[in-house]
Amino acid sequence: MTGTEARLVKELRRKSEEVKINVYPSIPVLVEELRRKS
């Protein structure tokens, strides 16, 4: 694996962590919304 590939993998990992952090708090809110609608 070249240095460039290693850097890309690190970037992707960091991004996926950020996405998890951004998305997770909204999940309970979405569940509440769905419960209210049904």
Q: For 9-20, what is each residue's pLDDT tens digit? A: 999 999 988 888
State how far the Cα of 34 lies from the Cα of 9, in Å rounded to an integer: 36
The residue type found at 30 is L
pTM over 0.75: no
Asked if pLDDT for residue 1 goes beyond 70, the answer is no
The radius of gyration of the chain from alpha carbons, rounded to an integer in Å, stands at 17
Residue of 30, 26, 28 lying closest to 38 (CA atoms): 30
